[in-house]
Structure 1
Amino acid sequence: MFFRFPPDIVPSQDASFLTGKTETFAKLKIESKAGKRTVFLTEHTILLVVQGIKLLHFSNHTLQVGPGQVVLLRKGIYVMAEYIEEGLSFEALLLFLPGKVLQSVRVLTPRPRPLAEASCLVLTADDLVQGFKTQLRLYFDKPLLEPNHLMAVKQQEILLLLNAAGYQQQVADFVAAALSTEPADLDFIVRTYLLQPVTVADLAQLCNRSLASFKRDFQRLYQCPPRQWLNQQRLAHARLLLQNGDKRVAEVAQECGFENTSHFIRIFKKAYGHTPHALRTKMTID
């Protein structure tokens, strides 16, 4: 289970989001207690820490982000936590950057280098970026009556400020990777999020494709419809876990991207001719 930022629908009374008529622009995150959560960023995002330390947990390392840094995150799933000193609180801003915003600054950046699979870019926040952060934070204390035009400018401004700070090439590389529609990137994204509870529509969004074009490109790459292929891979992994461990069926289902255990049991039986419990019983008897 994960939190989606920005969510599909923002409650009108939730003052922690800056929203326009059809778009959510930014999120103010304030925490008084440390916590660890899985977050699905459905848009490319800039993270600006105001106070405290943000922890981003990756498979082989943990990234610590403080007020002196700015982080560009490609849309995707991240495990996040906070380090909070006693008596203080954690505060950070998430500024969302839709593809149309990145496209608008793409022509202003140098020719990108070969794309990397890195999902984030960490840069030093200079005085101009710090000033941008201070101003953006004020918008949550004094809500804007007509945020659409101003926030669209602010989304571009932060990228231009990073260019002006000497990060033109890094920004160009990030933008190119974030907007990529290469088949190799589709394969990387699908395999990265294979065991996460994401839908085919989620994967299409992560791959910068419409649902129809994603299904077409997926079929061409794997010679199989996406839902069928995903279920095959997830069920095979679940079967391996059941045969080589003692985790409960519900835990195995969750680890393999199935949020509904009953649905998992049903399609497992359809694929293998027996339920996960029956497989366990047969192994015990044998």
Structure 2
Amino acid sequence: MLRVPSSIQPSQFASLSIRRPGTDPADGSRSDGSEMTFVAYRSDVYPERNEVFFEEHAVIVVLEGEKKFNSPTQELHVRKGQILFFQRGCYSMNESIDANYKSLVFFVNEKMLKEFVNQHLSLFQDRHRPLPDEPILSLTSSPAFTTFIQSLLPYFGSGTPFLNELLRLKFQELLLHLLELDTSGQLRAILLHIYQGQKADLNYLMNTYLLKPLSMDELARLSGRSLSAFKRDFEAQFHTSPGHWIRQRRLEHAHFLLRNTTKNVSEVSMEIGYESVSHFIKAYKQQYGTTPKRGN
């Protein structure tokens, strides 16, 4: 499973980064976390199908071709001119439809995003708009937004000494364009939610991502909490550790599949995240007192 942006490699993507305080512009050295990828240009190898975990909020702008994006609760088929906003922690299965797919992927750093909202609070006056139910927001491009995208392309490979300052302005311009396209107000609600530091509902989060191969750190980030706060809040709500809860719920799902589908033990084991069938059989027997078999 890809974890973006950490999985972005120069050999696969052309990218532009914004340098944050801590980088020495004289020698290019930087302390950990002092540079962030702002936008990456990619052309998929066809056919491509992969699972992606978004480590940062992201905006995908489809330049050419078609692609499918499936979150745990959504199925989106996008084409040229469509824009997708992914909230940090979103899990998606992506599949190219044709060989022509090209896109720009913007990574929206949360600290800079909060600074943007703080600078433009007058744009967020409706503070009671509910959050959208889905993790991926779809928008449609406009002529002005298309012109903005075209204005970015010359910066790939640019040697201008002012690139960092120009990209910071482009970051602001990107968000303002997206707010203009956000006729439903859903993006405004998301950005305000992030700005206010509100946390995700743990029950919804855990049931949505139960069968996904996410680490405890990634689940904590999805919830908007530190790892320690995630574990503390989880145990207060569910009266058990998140690891124990996940194991038990996955085995309950396996029990359901064995009774109600034609899937065999190996298929069920794989579906609930066990790489070893023998480990699955052992865990299942500990919970149900018998070995797993179809019709249990």
TM-score range (shorter-chain normalised) is 0.7 to 0.9
Change (3 A) 1:242 1:64: closer
Task: Work out whether 1:224 is the aligned partner of 2:237.
Answer: no
Percent of paired sites with the same residue:
30
Whether the 8 Å CA contact 1:45–1:94 is kept in 2: the answer is yes
Change (3 A) 1:226 1:82: same
Within the candidate set 190, 195, 206, 2:206 is matched to 190
Whether the 8 Å CA contact 1:74–1:178 is kept in 2: the answer is no
Change (3 A) 1:259 1:154: farther
Q: How many residues align?
A: 275
Once the two structures are TM-superposed, the CA of residue 222 in structure 1 deviates from its matched residue by 1.3
Which region of structure 1 is more displaced relative to structure 2, 136-145 or 233-242?
A: 136-145
Task: Give the root-mean-square deviation of aligned CA atoms.
Answer: 3.2
| Superposition TM-score, scaled by structure 1 size | 0.80
Whether the 8 Å CA contact 1:74–1:120 is kept in 2: the answer is yes
Partner of 2:174, secondary structure, is: helix
Greater share of residues in helix:
1
| Superposition TM-score, scaled by structure 2 size | 0.78
Following the alignment from structure 1 to structure 2, what is the Cα–Cα distance between the partners of residues 137 and 263? 50
Name the residue aligned to 1:79.
Answer: 93
Listed as ranges, the gaps of 5+ residues in structure 2 are 20-29
Within the candidate set 123, 129, 132, 2:145 is matched to 129
Name the residue aligned to 2:59.
Answer: 46
Listed as ranges, the gaps of 5+ residues in structure 1 are none
Tell me the amino acid that sits aligned with residue 82 of structure 1: S
Whether the 8 Å CA contact 1:195–1:256 is kept in 2: the answer is yes
Once the two structures are TM-superposed, the CA of residue 149 in structure 1 deviates from its matched residue by 5.0
Partner of 2:69, secondary structure, is: strand
Whether the 8 Å CA contact 1:106–1:172 is kept in 2: the answer is no
Tell me the amino acid that sits aligned with residue 52 of structure 1: G
Partner of 1:216, secondary structure, is: helix
Following the alignment from structure 1 to structure 2, what is the Cα–Cα distance between the partners of residues 234 and 26? 37
Tell me the amino acid that sits aligned with residue 226 of structure 1: P
Task: Work out whether 1:215 is the aligned partner of 2:231.
Answer: yes
Name the residue aligned to 1:174.
Answer: 190
Once the two structures are TM-superposed, the CA of residue 163 in structure 1 deviates from its matched residue by 3.1
Tell me the amino acid that sits aligned with residue 133 of structure 2: E
Task: Work out whether 1:245 is the aligned partner of 2:280.
Answer: no
Name the residue aligned to 1:94.
Answer: 105
Whether the 8 Å CA contact 2:85–2:138 is kept in 1: the answer is yes
Following the alignment from structure 2 to structure 1, what is the Cα–Cα distance between the partners of residues 163 and 5? 16
